[in-house]
Amino acid sequence: MKGDVAISAGVSTILMVVLVVGIAMILWSVVMGFPSILHTTVYIASEAKAEEIIQPGGLPMQVVGFTIREAEPFHFVGQAPPRGGKEVLLKVISPDGRTLYPTPFLSGGPLEGRTLYIFPNSTGYSVHCDYIVSDIPPQGKLKPFVLGTWTVQLIDTEAHLLISSDDRAKITEGTSSYALAGGVPGGDVWRTDCTPLGYSVHGNPVAKNTGAPMNMSYLSFDGNDWLEYQDDPTLKYTGDLTISLWLRPLNVNTWKQVIGKGLQTPSGAGVIEDKNYDLYLINKKVYFEWDDRVTNTHYHIMTDNDVVTAGNWQYVDLAVEGGEPKIYINGVSQQFSYYKSNVPGNNKITTPSQIPDVRLKDNQHPLTMGKQASQQYPFPYSGDIGSFALYNRGLTEDEISENLQTYSA
């Protein structure tokens, strides 16, 4: 009938439009690389949790465990053969905001039914962004995990789809935080979130390695070399602080700036200081200076005794916790005095009630390593500087001892 013909024509038109739209969606998905509606992602049922392992000496430690309860065949990105199934990216988000992609070290065969261990690479060449996933429990001494919730995610790399996200790994025994910035001078220096920190090289410092047993990379300065790290939030400190570094001075009979964030400019017969923090070697003593963020007064502390030697590796820590500074050399706390001056040893504070809290004053200047940011008094450093790190807290004596034993910062 005439009406039936009209209805059939209308239905045909609708079906044709649907078909055209469907084909267009498929073509768009293929061309643009979006998850295709024809793609079937892999099924994985897993569980993340804190796993306790025993370290050398019988001490327990927590790492992130990841158990594959049920799964279709798959393998991780970067996994060595033999491998099967679809490719899956393992992504880990730490409590302090780092995005980690652990390197797989797995034996062959299906991953279903296995418990995997996610833990930091603790060799002397690794940084805090370098992690491993293995089906073998870690052995040897490990860097501690940051306290809090660790999230483990699986991503289908072909479909660009998040397969799962598990936040049940709760680390309750570990460290409160890693360094805000750290690494090897002249090499890889990272922010906490594992992004690289930019810097420029002045002169020709030489990159070397200590070899065993330290296995530490370092940079050798000849007195004409220095590094400049651009102003960055990870380098600014107004509260607690730890400067943690390894150094081997060529000589200890002059004034040398090791690391600092500030600027010294001439003013008449003197200079104007604008210092967030600065660490020096003054002959055989350790010297630390800062500007008070409230009064703008310039202070420094200096060890009472000779504490550094030439030609030897030494681990130096300047820690500020709750306004109180401490200086450690090779894990040993050192006596020091306070001074209200920018000249080493001048205007010593002898009245206990006048001893200031360390209230660091922020600035916009770059961080320099190997010399002071000053045209008149650069105080260049000659010698070697190895691993270094900057924390927004005071390291504990146990953490300092751990770094000493593992040749890390």
* pLDDT value of residue 256: 96
CATH topology of domain 181-406: Jelly Rolls (2.60.120)
* pLDDT value of residue 24: 52
Q: What is the pLDDT of residues 97-152, one digit of tens each?
A: 889 999 999 988 899 999 999 999 876 556 678 899 999 999 888 888 999 999 99
Reported CATH class of domain 44-171: mainly beta
Report the phi/psi class of residue 78: left, alpha or beta, with left for phi > 0 and alpha for psi in -120 to 50: left
**Coil, strand, or helix at residue 29?**
helix
* pLDDT value of residue 9: 55
Residue 168 pLDDT greater than 70, yes or no: yes
For 1-18, what is the mean pLDDT?
A: 51
Q: What is the pLDDT of residues 320-333, one digit of tens each?
A: 999 999 999 999 99
Residue 279 pLDDT greater than 90, yes or no: yes
Q: How far apart are CA 6 and CA 272, in angstroms?
A: 91
User: What pTM was estimated for this model as a whole?
Assistant: 0.81
Mean pLDDT, all residues of the chain: 89
Q: How far apart are CA 340 and CA 354, in angstroms?
A: 10
Domain boundaries, the chain: 44-171, 181-406
* Comparison of pLDDT for 83 and 383, the residue scoring more: 383
> Using omega within 30 degrees of 0 as the cis cutoff, is the peptide bond preceding 213 cis?
yes
% of the chain exceeding 90 in pLDDT? 72
- One-character DSSP codes across 91-114: EEE-TTS-EE-PEEE--SS--TTP
Q: What is the pLDDT of residues 197-245, one digit of tens each?
A: 999 999 999 999 999 999 899 999 999 999 999 999 999 999 999 999 9
Could you tell me where the beta strands, DSSP code E, fall in 130-174?
131-134, 148-156, 161-171
**Coil, strand, or helix at residue 125?**
coil
For 301-313, what is the mean pLDDT?
A: 97
For tokens 């894990």, the residue is 331
Three-state SS for 314-361 is: EEEEEEEECCEEEEEECCEEECEEEECCCCCCCCECCCHHHCCCCCEC
Q: How confident is the model at residue 12 (pLDDT cuts 50, 70, 90)?
A: low
The tokens describing 158, both together, are 């072909």
Residue 187 pLDDT greater than 90, yes or no: no
DSSP assigned state of 403: H
* Comparison of pLDDT for 93 and 9, the residue scoring more: 93
Cβ neighbours of residue 300 under 8 Å, at least 6 residues apart? 287, 288, 289, 290, 338, 339, 341, 342, 344
* pLDDT value of residue 58: 84
